[in-house]
Chains A and B, each alone.
Chain A
């Protein structure tokens, strides 16, 4: 009865793709089941943005062929800027469109039992772990149409596994390069940090060219065991032409900490959902998001922390800049479930509008089913303060530079949280290019 969605890829295609990737039977079945459910499931409904006209399902090619990089020296300049090309013993995965293009895992981490590899290798070689964690604990395939589509068509991604008691200090990095205008990204990152482990992880999604009408359907799952700490940094800069759905979700066990620092710099229309489920008592979810919207872009960014355990702490900090005739919407949701006593849900969302036609919105929501809790929210949407500009200009700083300083300062509290220094620098550069 619905006319809108006829998937370009059917069971036969998915089955043959799965075979081609030598996937185990359970994974092929997982895809099939999701594909069957696709039609019945509703689309997600982000607050304040209508997405019924957005194209998340129609595209030409499920996979494109790309050559791997034989060495880091061979990387394009834009990618070189993101990684340490001369570092020894680093832990780095580079994926080019769908192709695993470079992988290096430090000897030290290997010896400690850390697994870091592309998703397909993980499915083949670490089936037990994948079976346990892949779309079972954080995100389910049947949540809505786009999660089902993702499960059916997943075509890239990475798996990071940190065993019990292993504390990693050097950040682990993944770079997802998009350099084929026909590529569609169904990318899945799964991070499992076992009890008492710690890991900083940073990823970049980067387009080196403008895309034709394509789709990105990206899912991240973070599972943090008892007393584990995961620092998750991301800089997304996918080009115009791509319609982007990105869902990053974490599940925190007892006394676990999940800290997100997200630089969402896509040029394409974007729906972002970043949720942290605080299951264990005493767990913490800390989310910092920085967004720049420009051109005709519409971006809807939902950050949610759900408190299930007692004494849980959720902190959301969103800062966004919007210019031209772009639209930027922040939905901040702090949800405290019944029984999550002594929990604290805090959030701040701020939008700075740089032009007359730009639209910004910040919607704080506190949904509380427990009496003995703390909660707070702050939200603001405004323009650059002319008195601040006057102050800076009164010291001789030209107006454009004064604006740059104010914008830079506005975004700094989030940018400064990124765990890898050169990614921070790179994000700063992306921001400056975009707000100029």
Chain B
């Protein structure tokens, strides 16, 4: 089997009664890396939260399916076990739960009762991936994200990605607040995952990340919709021209949600 397909059709999403996404269409297949770019306030993070099932976001119409299965009918944990993963912009801190215990619970939740990963195998895997991501091995025994620096949190999200091996991953501004070294490490992790069984949606407003993870498709989001799609050259154009050139081309004055063209 050549990977999974996440299909989003005419997705409308509201938060506190205010519509943020106004008809998003996108399809991500195993083997593909998509990037959604766009300035702040255009609905990028709303899209990622809606796919994962954040409790504050309400899908008012449209559909999300994973290999034909209705994602919107699934609980958050079911979505994850179906193969979705979201690397969050602001991961929660959870006191008293070690990083290792948390990850093992997550892995075992996927594997199911009676098929739990052996502790030795788990530790070996985790150590290997932490080394790959140039993380301090002590972080396995620290409480989940508690007191982690911004960069450590992002690396920890990628560590989870690598440990959980999802079919489709969404990376929500994984690059924000990272220095160049951390950015390289995070990119190395994502590139390691590349393959025909792995599809990825990268959300960013900087082209910088895409120097390290070359996308197959680039989409630009404004006013709660995808307004332009293309190949990697689109990202390069945005880098050269900024969003202003594209706005002029599309006749958009204010790109943020709630401003109609």
Chain A contacts to B: CB under 8 angstroms: 385-388, 390-399, 401-402, 405-406, 408-413
Contact = CB atoms under 8 A, between A and B. Distances in A.
6 contacts: A386-B55, A387-B92, A393-B76, A396-B80, A399-B75, A412-B95
A411 B95 CA distance: 9
B70 interface: no
Contacts of B217: none
B164 interface: yes
Contacts of B137: none
Contacts of A388: 92, 94
Given A385-B92, A391-B91, 13 more contacts: A388-B94, A390-B53, A391-B92, A392-B102, A392-B106, A393-B77, A395-B164, A396-B110, A397-B109, A398-B109, A399-B77, A401-B109, A402-B77
Contacts of A385: 92
A390 B54 contact: yes
Contacts, number: 84
Given A394-B80, A395-B80, A397-B105, A411 B96 contact: yes
Given A394-B76, A395-B80, A397-B77, A405 B109 contact: no
For B79, B105, B110, which residue has the most chain A Cβ atoms within 10 angstroms? B105
Nearest to B93: A388
Interface of A is mostly: helix
- Chain B interface size band reads 20 to 34
Interface of B: 52-55, 75-77, 79-81, 85-86, 88, 91-92, 94-97, 101-103, 105-106, 109-110, 143-144, 160, 164
A395 B160 contact: yes
B106 A396 contact: yes
A289 to B, nearest CB: 15
Contacts of B109: 395-398, 401
Nearest to A395: B106
A386 B105 CA distance: 18
Nearest to B87: A394
Contacts of A390: 52-55, 76, 92
Contacts of B92: 385, 387-388, 390-392
A410 B96 contact: yes
B77 A410 contact: no
Contacts of B96: 408-413
A408 B102 CA distance: 12
B140 to A, nearest CB: 16
